[in-house]
Each structure stands twice: as structure tokens, then as C-alpha cells.
Structure 1
Amino acid sequence: MELHLHSHRWVARQPDWAAAAVAGFGAGGILMVLELAWTAFAAQGDPWLATRMIAAMVMGWDVLQTTGYSLGVVIAALAVHYILGVAFGIMLAAIIAPFQLDSSTPMVLFTGAVFGLVLYVLNFYGMVGAFSWFAELRGWPTAIGHAIFGMSSAYIYRKMENP
């Protein structure tokens, strides 16, 4: 019996870009549901605060001064959320494919979790210089949500990609 270890060294392998975009879109939806559920169950105060924070990236600081539900704010937040989800899904696939990190489900889930946690650090500690209002969302729930985003995106990509 011969033991084969799968190497994860770089090879010239292109990602399946369409699968990556769909995976990022789907994982963005999963993260959005988790954020809304967390806000509804655990957070006191305005349940639309996170939505306004995301929309403020494109609509400006004034959106943060409003309260309650606004269809325009929700549409802007959805657009930003899904565009970023697709972009990050494509970035993740660009890492997974050439290093063959999709060789097994545990490997792709681990890769996705690490990617999600790195994304959390970059978003909530790096980008907070440009979008200071995100500092108040730092914490374990947001970090776990980003790890789940990465895992979901990686798993969906693995299932959808054309070998």
C-alpha cells in the first residue's frame, strides 16, 4: 500500500472565476443573515445600526446620524455587502486554486476560516482609519462571523468549481 501526500505547493492553476463570484455572493448573504440575527438577539438599541454603518461607506457620515429603517440605506448596504463579498470570494479562490487548498473539505474550510479572520483584522483594525465607525463592531461575534464567511465561501467554491 502506497501513501500519497497531497502537496500544497504553488502550481499554475487558474481559479474558476464564476464559481468564486457566486461563492462570495452566497457567503456574503450568510454573513448578512448572521449579522442581522446577532443584532436582533444580542444587541440593545437600534437593529439597523450595522446596516447604516455599511451604507455609510458609500453614502457618507450623515447616514449614521439617522435612526430606524430606510429603504435607500438598506439598498446601499446590500450593494456594498454583496460587492465586497464577491470581491473577497474571488480573492479567496485566487489563493485556494494555485496552492491546491481545495484538495479536501477540512483543508478548504481551514483555509476559509483563516482568510475570514485575516479579513476581519484588515477590516476592523486596518480600514478603521478610513471608516472609524466600524471600531465599535470589533469583537468575537464579528470575528466569528468573518470566519464563517471565509469557510462558507471556500466550501461553496469547492463544491461549484470545475476541476
Structure 2
Amino acid sequence: MPLNWRAAVSSGIVAGVVATGAQIFLWRVFTDALPHIFYRDARFTAAILLGQSVLPPPATFDWKVIIIATVIHFVISIVYSLILARVLSRIGTVFSLLAGSLYGLLIYTVNMYGATAFFPWFSEARDWITVVTHIVFGISLAGTYKVLSRTHFP
């Protein structure tokens, strides 16, 4: 089956939303750091484009930071989706979900260890919640792509 571009882009957006929701849920249940940790991570992401000047504490709400971080988050989610969709278009649903979970772990490694060569501040986000969030991203990406590529998007 060929790559379904519309399903891949849509899956990246859905997986980005699901993973963010999962991360916020886990922060809420297992930490008392909300909303500080959310604002901190938004600043980490926005600093990719805006530079390190947005990093200093306190990590408070800033519309510019939130908007830039959101755009970056979804662009990266879509790029990751387009990469994985190439594989998913060739395998069945069960293997797709397994591939998605492994892909989530790979993305965690790339984001939290590889990207720190360029953006060292991301090393502060290395924790089990971030690992789980990346796995959730990969699984939701794979599942959404398989559903959308077969039913909703020709």
C-alpha cells in the first residue's frame, strides 16, 4: 500500500495532541509541578527558534513562547509521522503498533540525547514521564495512521 500523505500529516497532529495530553495527565498525577513544568518545556521548545533568551526562570506563561512551541511541536510531529508512515504503509496493524512503540523510544533517544548536542537544555526533561509520552506518541501515531489510511482519507 502506498504512503497516504493526508493520513500521515493528520496522524502527526493527532499523535502530538494525544502525547501532550498524556504528558499533562502524568505530570498532574505523579508530580506537583504543573503548570511550571509545562511552561518550562514550552520554553525549551521555543528556544529552538527564539534562542536561549527565553529559557531563564521563572517559567511563566508567555503567549509568544506557547505559540512558537506549539508550531515547532506540530511540525516535528508531522515530520516524524511522515517518516514512520513509510514503514506503516507496508505492515499490518499489530506490527504497526509495535513499530510505533519502538519508534517512540527511538524518538525519545534522538530528542533527549541527540538534540542535546545542539540544544543542551533538553537534558533537564529526561525522565520516565517523557519516555512514556514518546511511546504514547509512537503508538497513537501508528494506530491513527492505520485507521485513517484505510477509511477516512483516500
For the criterion TM > 0.5, the same-fold answer is yes
Partner of 2:64: 72
Instruction: Tell me which residue corresponds to 1:29.
Output: 17
Confirm or deny that 1:44 pairs with 2:29: no
Identical aligned residues as a percent? 27
Deviation per CA, 1:69-117: give whole Å up to 9, x if none: 01111000100001111111111101222xx22x23x211101001110
Q: Deviation string for 1:6-61 (max 9, x for gaps)?
A: xxxxxxx4210110010011101111222333344415372311111111111110
| 1:5 paired residue number | none
Q: What is the one-letter code of the residue matched to 1:117?
A: L
Deviation of the 1:140 alpha carbon: 1.5
SS at match of 1:155: helix
Which residue of 1 is the match for residue 83 of structure 2?
91
Tell me which of 128, 139, 142 is aligned to 2:127.
139
Greater relative contact order (CA < 8 Å, ≥ 6 in sequence): 2
Aligned counterpart in structure 1 of residue 118 of structure 2, from 130, 150, 155:
130
2-structure distance, mates of 1:117, 1:43? 25
Q: How does 1:6-17 map to 2 (within 5 A)?
A: 13-17=1-5
User: Residues of 1 paired with 2:49 and 2:80: CA distance?
Assistant: 18
2:26 partner letter:
W
Instruction: Name the Cα RMSD after superposition.
Output: 1.7
The gaps in structure 2 that reach 5 residues or longer are: none
Paired AA for residue 62 in structure 2: S
* Bigger helix fraction: 2
Aligned partners of 1:21 and 1:91: how far apart in 2?
Answer: 10
Gaps of 5+ in 1: 1-12
3-state secondary structure, aligned to 2:33: coil
The count of corresponding residues between Structure 1 and Structure 2 is 147
Conservation of the 8 A alpha-carbon contact between 2:81 and 2:141? yes
Letter in 1 for 2:33: Q
Out of 49, 62, 70, the position equivalent to 1:58 is: 49
Whole-angstrom CA distance in 1 between matches of 2:19 and 2:2: 26
Secondary structure of the structure 1 residue equivalent to 2:140: helix
**Max Rg structure:** 1
